[in-house]
Each structure stands twice: as C-alpha cells, then as structure tokens.
A = this chain, B = another copy of it.
Amino acid sequence: MARATIQNWQTSLPPGDCAACPIRKFAAYAGASRGSLKFLRSCRLGERVLPPKRNIYREEREADELFTLYDGWAFTYKLLPDGRRQILDFLLPGSFIGLHVLWFKAMPHSVQSLTSVSLCVFDKEKFRDLLRRKPEYERELLKYSASCQALSDERLSDLGRRTAKERIARLILEIHDQLADRGMVDRGSFPFHVRQEHIADALGLTKVHVSRTLQGLRHEGLVEIGRQTANILDLRGLRELTGFTERRALQLC
C-alpha cells in the first residue's frame, strides 16, 4: 500500500486547462476547436490516480463516468465464465475510455491499469450534453471510433490468420509505432509495461509459448524484451517478418 502511494507520485497529473494539455493531440477529440475546449473542461469531474492492477470498469456493470488516459498504461479485456481472459487492446496515454457508457446499460468489457495511471474523469450526463451542444465532438469521436475499429480488425486478422511469431512481432511494432508518434522511442528502445502473460492473453496464446517465441526473436537478433522496456535491434527485419502492411489504410483524406 505504501508502494501504491509512492507510485502515485510518480504519475503526473493533467493540467486543469484542456487547451494546455500536452497529450490532447493524441486524444479522441484532438481536432476540437480551441473555443469549445472550455465546454469539454466543464464536463470534467477532476483527475484520478490509480495504482497498477486496478479496474477502471468492470464488464457487465453500470458506470457513469468516462475517462481520458493521461499517463500510464492500461488494457481492456473480457473474461469467459471459466476464467479464460481475452485482452482486447492496450491503452496508451491519450486513449479515450468508456465510449460505451453513453448508450449501453452495462459495459461490454473491463478495463484495468497496467502501471499506475492518471485519468481525466468526465461525467456521463455532462458529456452527453457536450455532444448535443457541440456536434464537432461527435464527429471527432466517430472518426476515433472508426480508426479504433480498423486497428481492432488488424488484431482480428492476427488471431485468425497469423502465426504466433507474426502476432508477437506485430504487437511489439504496433506499440513501438504509437510510442514513436509520441516521441517516446530512443534508438529502438521504449517503455514496455506488458508482461508475457498479457501478450499471451492479447494474442490468443499461452504464456509458455510466448516465452519460447520471444526467445526465438531474441536469438534472431530482432528484439529484446526486458522487464519494463523493449529494445528493437532490427526494425527492418521485424517489419519484414510481419509482411510490411503498415497502416497505409489509416491516412486521412
């Protein structure tokens, strides 16, 4: 518990003013006009800091708050009745969390923190009002939702039609590319707060097989995964392994 407290201090808080928010350009409402940001701010209930392994939402439960992940990592997942877990997506700073609460009685999935996280908290009803009064947010969210869907379709192709090696290589590259956008990659090295068990549950594998496959990638000199960091040794080779197809489809008109 003391540990959690310490970690809280390591996690930076979002500024009070959305216009000054450094991660806003990665958020769902990135394109919102400056003038409308004060409406966004009025939906904010404040910020919240959570230690690792805490649930932000729980599947099949109601909720009346939405979030933007400001700092830290999290993931969305579903649990089968017998305990099998499917991780749907990893969430990095800027991710919009909880779109579903706007219409659905219960959340269709759970969300859990991976590191300590800090969140912007929005009130459901106020956010609904925001959408009614400022349609530009609806447009931004719709675009955001469509691009998330495209990423999710890529993951579906991974699970359905790619080998374990390809899946793992692509997951590492996906995280790499997202962090590179945010300027968080230093000569192939970047933070990597995902354990092998998370990789397994995201990619439909067992942790044992993830361990073996990761060793394979290391022995081929492609990538090393350390405790909290990843290090891509041969970006070219890693991309070749995955068949090149890198997010051409996501360019905007």
Question: In the complex, what residues of B have CB within 8 A of residue A78's CB?
Answer: 153-154, 157
Interface pair A81/B138, CB less than 8 Å apart = no
Q: How many copies of the chain does the oligomer comprise?
A: 2
Q: Chain A interface mostly helix, strand, loop or mixed?
A: helix
A9 at the interface (CB under 8 A from B): no
Interface pair A153/B108, CB less than 8 Å apart = yes
In Å, the complex CA distance between A138 and B144 comes to 13
Known interface pairs A100-B150, A160-B159; A249-B82 also in contact (CB < 8 Å):
no
In Å, the complex CA distance between A109 and B157 comes to 11
Known interface pairs A135-B138, A155-B156; A249-B103 also in contact (CB < 8 Å):
no
Question: In the complex, what residues of B have CB within 8 A of residue A252's CB?
Answer: 103-105
Interface centre among A139, A142, A150 (most CB of B within 10 A): A142
Those 5 A-B pairs whose CB atoms lie nearest each other, nearest first: A160-B204, A135-B135, A108-B249, A159-B159, A86-B157
Interchain residue pairs with CB less than 8 A apart (24): A60-B248, A76-B153, A78-B154, A81-B244, A81-B245, A85-B161, A88-B156, A99-B142, A100-B149, A103-B143, A104-B146, A104-B252, A108-B153, A108-B250, A109-B150, A135-B135, A135-B138, A141-B142, A142-B142, A142-B145, A145-B145, A145-B149, A152-B156, A160-B201
Given A80-B161, A80-B243; 4 other pairs, CB 8 A cutoff:
A81-B243, A155-B156, A160-B202, A161-B204
Report which A residues bind B (CB closer than 8 A): 59-60, 76, 78, 80-82, 84-86, 88, 99-100, 102-109, 131, 135, 138-139, 141-143, 145-150, 152-157, 159-162, 201-204, 243-245, 248-253
